[in-house]
Structure 1
Amino acid sequence: LFEDAFLGLLEKWRPQVAVLIFEFGTFSRASYENGLAFLKDLDRFLGALPAGWRYAVEIRNPEYLGADYFGCLRSHGVAHVFNAWTRMPELHRQIRMPGAFTADFTVCRALLRYGRSYEQAVKTFEPYDRIQDPNPAARQAMRELVGRAVNRREPAFIFVNNRLEGNAPATIQAVVEDSWAEDSQGPHS
């Protein structure tokens, strides 16, 4: 079904498709008793996917992050999505988790500040016309991810949402400008 109803329709745009992200919302214990039960289904799902596409998985259960999860993704060449989300460990913490880099490409979604709900972000940031709450830690983590990818000559796909700081284009600009400033100063300035 996935191949016929989705991938088949994307086939003519394959060269333009950077990565296909499977976002899994927070699972309750009624859905999955534990992370291993989820991983059993995830492993079967990923194993059935056709080759030739970049795939990434985003989870919202912080307790699932660990060696078994990362190992499952790695065995299929699927990237973990480093995600800034209300209940997920902050980006810099995810980056430093052993085994967190699971593919030959990197994916990041900078969506929300840790501890802030989606609804709070909407109320705080609408109409999304400027940065209202800078998040230096998230910016630094995004720069680290890009730097790692550049050093390894691998692609990195970094997605930024208005609800991270108030205005995604301005956040992206700040990350880029900060990167240029770091580059011009050198690594030990």
Structure 2
Amino acid sequence: MAASVDQASLFSEDPPEPTKTDESPPESSATPTPPSPVRVRTARRSAGVQPADVSEEVMAVAGSLPGQLWLGTSSWTFPGWTGLVWGGQYADAKLSKEGLAAYSRHPLLRTVSLDRAFYRPLSVSQYAHYAAQVPEHFRFVVKAPSLVADAQVRSENGRGMTLNPAFLNADLAVREFVAPALEGLGPKTGALVFQISPLPHQLLSRIPEIIDGIGVMLAALPSLSSVAPDGLVAVEVRDAEFLSSSNGPLLVRMLREARAFNPTTYCLGLHAKMPPIEDQLPILRALWPGPLVCRWNLHRRHGAYGYETAKQSYEPFDRIVDPDLETRHALARVIAGTTGAKQASYVTINNKAEGSAPLSILELAKSLKMD
């Protein structure tokens, strides 16, 4: 397949065949040699977290994926993943402290989303601690702190209280997010995601100003390329008004202009507060060619505020409960087109998307292999 793909074929029903990047990938995006299956052991209490056995099917699927694709989950601290990711029964506290190394040995899990960074900025040493636990091919997806990405100061239950005076503050974005992430993660920096939280009602009429403010902030960020060759910046929104006929072109123009400073794209936020994936794709088409960042967070059946309902329905997250074939197949077409054009693709999936993030990743990867 040619290195360039036109907009019409990128998201078509019959996607172009992905380039066999596992045969001759760029140096910065080389497909790793999958690790050998690890035998499950009955570990002594002093032993660390052990990875699960990996089947031949999973190894074959992982080996077929392009080198520019990083698949992973939102966090890794779920005891219910025993047999899928973990080789034994472990408490969530132990997985939080020691599970990342075992997680990163799974051949399909080449990234993870550090969602905790949204709630409180992480330090250089915290980022470095994570980076030291994973192999060289691993890349992190990191959410920008709410300090700069949320227009409101919120109470502990998430209710907006007052406007946030630090919203989109460029100096804080660099000092509290991008600089420590780059220094701590180094070349393992993947996608730095500015998730713009739902705006208060009084700001929804001022979205063009918000878009301009995002652009000013992105222009102030340091260059990623010298430290993180696979690093990029993505902007995710949680208000459909950003994609309207009047605001959508402004968003696209701002993201295109930000590419003068860093690889930049729109993050597909697959969440019931946003339109379905098909209705978000026009933004990516307008930005083509470019990388893909997708965060598949919540099944639409639970509604915009259905995280707790989904959690109760899906725990312990050991099986797919609500298969979302339409979203999965649409996402597979986008990945195939993007990686086929040798563009980086970062895709993370939450347990609340279908019931079990590791199994959703496996089914998505199998869809790619079939294509």
TM-score of Structure 1 vs Structure 2, range by shorter chain: 0.7 to 0.9
Asked whether the equivalents of residues 194 and 234 of structure 2 are also in contact (C-alpha less than 8 Å), the reply is yes
In structure 1, the gaps of 5 or more residues are 183-189
Percent identity for Structure 1 against Structure 2: 25
Match of 1:111 in 2: 297
Distance of 2:276 and 2:325 partners within structure 1: 12
Match of 1:25 in 2: 197
Tell me, yes or no, if structure 1 residue 69 matches structure 2 residue 251: yes
Asked whether the equivalents of residues 110 and 159 of structure 1 are also in contact (C-alpha less than 8 Å), the reply is yes
Moved segments of 4+, more than 6 Å: none
Distance of 2:291 and 2:218 partners within structure 1: 17
Distance of 1:57 and 1:108 partners within structure 2: 10
User: Cα offset for 1:163?
Assistant: 0.3
Cα separation, partners in 2 of 1:145 and 1:50, compared to 1, 3 Å: same
Higher relative contact order (CA 8 A, sep 6+): 2
Aligned residues: 182
Match of 2:177 in 1: 6
Match of 1:50 in 2: 222
Equivalent positions of 1:9-158 (< 5 A) are 9-10=180-181, 11-52=183-224, 53-65=231-243, 66-77=248-259, 78-97=264-283, 99-101=285-287, 104-116=290-302, 117-158=306-347
Distance of 1:92 and 1:48 partners within structure 2: 32
Q: Deviations over 1:23-63 (max 9, x none)?
A: 11111222443321211211211121122251101100011
Find the residue that maps to 1:18 and give its secondary structure: strand
RMSD of aligned C-alpha atoms?
A: 1.9
Q: 2:210 is aligned with what amino acid? A: F
Cα separation, partners in 2 of 1:5 and 1:98, compared to 1, 3 Å: closer
Q: Normalising to structure 1: TM-score of the pair? A: 0.87
Of residues 139-148 and 154-163 in structure 1, the stretch that sits farther from structure 2 once superposed is 139-148
User: Cα offset for 1:98?
Assistant: 6.8
Find the residue that maps to 1:176 and give its secondary structure: helix
Q: 1:172 is aligned with what amino acid? A: I
Asked whether the equivalents of residues 173 and 217 of structure 2 are also in contact (C-alpha less than 8 Å), the reply is no
Find the residue that maps to 1:33 and give its secondary structure: helix
Q: 1:33 is aligned with what amino acid? A: S
Match of 1:185 in 2: none
Higher fraction of helix: 1
In structure 2, the gaps of 5 or more residues are 1-171, 225-230
Q: 1:56 is aligned with what amino acid? A: A
Of residues 14-23 and 44-53 in structure 1, the stretch that sits farther from structure 2 once superposed is 44-53
Q: Deviations over 1:95-148 (max 9, x none)?
A: 144745366311001111235222221122122111000001111122012111
Q: 1:80 is aligned with what amino acid? A: Y
Cα separation, partners in 2 of 1:13 and 1:178, compared to 1, 3 Å: same
Find the residue that maps to 2:202 and give its secondary structure: coil
Q: Deviations over 1:58-111 (max 9, x none)?
A: 100011111111211111022100111112111122114474536631100111
